[in-house]
Amino acid sequence: MRRAVRGVRNGVVAACVLLAPVLAHAQESSGGNGVKVGEGRLHPAADLELRYDSAAGFFDGPKLSPEMAWHLRPGLRYELPGRHLDVKAAGQLDLVWYPGWLTAASSRVSRVQGTADLSFIANQGGPLEVRVTDSFARTDRSSNLAIGFGVLSLGNRITLAVPVRPGAGALELTPEVGHGLETFSTLGATGCTDVACQPDPVAEFNYQNLHAGLDVRWRFLPKTAVVLDTDFDHRSFPQSSTPAASILRTTVGLSGLVTPRISLNVRLGWAQDTGAVPAGTVVGQAELVCPLTPFSLVRAGYLRTLDPAGSLGHYASDRLYADGRVLLGGRLSLSAAGGLDFVGYRGDAARRDRVGHLELTPEYQLNPWLRLGAGYLLGTRASSLDEASLNFARHEGYVRATGTY
């Protein structure tokens, strides 16, 4: 474990050394626009963040302990814009180091995380468009609502979509196929017997997903369309005895401007698992987007989904969410986001979860290449099951500097 911590420290030092000339050059250039590579541009960037986490890990029994954490995130972004071929690629490492200032045993969860995204778009906006996207992430913040605290997710998803716009383009049909996988492991703990602290139960959530879909949009007004979405997901769990799920979702609705300023997205339909364990429910979304001023935007909505959950069967989630952003003086931006999920499990009638989050983020653009920010995050989780990994409140505060060239 000490070797792992030393490795993270050495990685942080090496990244600092490698990025120092880049940031120094960015400072001299003050507002440079990346490095020209072929017909595109390469943008180096780095985040340095110090974060307080009131629930950093299970370091002393089943009670979550606080700790400070350093995050260094070196990254690169490549952009090759064009109508015939538009290419975007971005990657960022997240070197996480727990120095043990508040809880000595926290260094055991020092680790390397990261994200990578890639997209190719050919003949953008034409009668026949081709899109290929790939997204990779290693993170401790999985989107799987059945996963509690203390779990590291490693996932990748690739999608091919082919929008077809016959005639004048009022009708758009987008068939797509994709493949995704996600595996889970524990961050490490001592004296904890909860599901989130044990490697074997967590591995039961590992899955592979085959996806197919068809999105049909008919624009009866320039910025308003009738939408029909059909999606099919076949999800298997290779390390669990859970039968594979085959979920078909179909929704119909309206998307676009309902006034010159307010846009609405409303969908209603049904989701049905046609596999060995049948389950079905109403699904849909209602979302309102409104710019309060020319420099602010507010969004609020409700979303209901049905997803497979490994050994727990299926879960239906009812989510209320809202977020907003305002720009002040051209340099200071204020953002806020919040949501609350009510989760019920079809395979475990005794379990009900409530998952909430709130985030407040002010950022200041000091100059064209340097941005300073701070933030507060509140994460809450409550479950009908009496397990520490499913019942907690997590307070986080951070300060961050971001350099981009």
Q: Which domains, ranges and CATH numbers included, belong to the chain?
A: 2-404 (2.40.160)
58 has a pLDDT exceeding 60: yes
3-class secondary-structure state, position 130 = strand
pLDDT tens string 339-360: 999 999 876 667 899 999 999 9
**Whole-Å CA distances, 165 to 12, 170, 295:** 48, 7, 33
CA pair distance 37, 132, nearest whole angstrom: 22
What pLDDT score does 162 carry? 98
Strand partners, 158: 134, 179
Q: Give the DSSP per-residue string, 56-125.
A: EEEEETTEEEEEEEEEEEEEEEEEE--SSEEEEEEEEEEEEE---SS-GGGGGG-EEEEEEEEEEEESTT
For the record, the structure tokens of 337 come out as 């986001």
CB 313 within 8 A of CB 208: no
Cα–Cα distance for residue pair 268/249, rounded to 1 Å: 10
Over residues 48-57, the mean pLDDT reads 94
* Distance (Å, whole) CA 370 – CA 381: 35
Task: Please say if the pLDDT value at position 298 is more than 50.
Answer: yes
Task: For 301-342, write each residue's pLDDT tens digit.
Answer: 999 999 988 777 788 999 999 999 999 998 999 999 999 999
Q: Distance between CA atoms of 316 and 308, rounded to whole angstroms?
A: 9
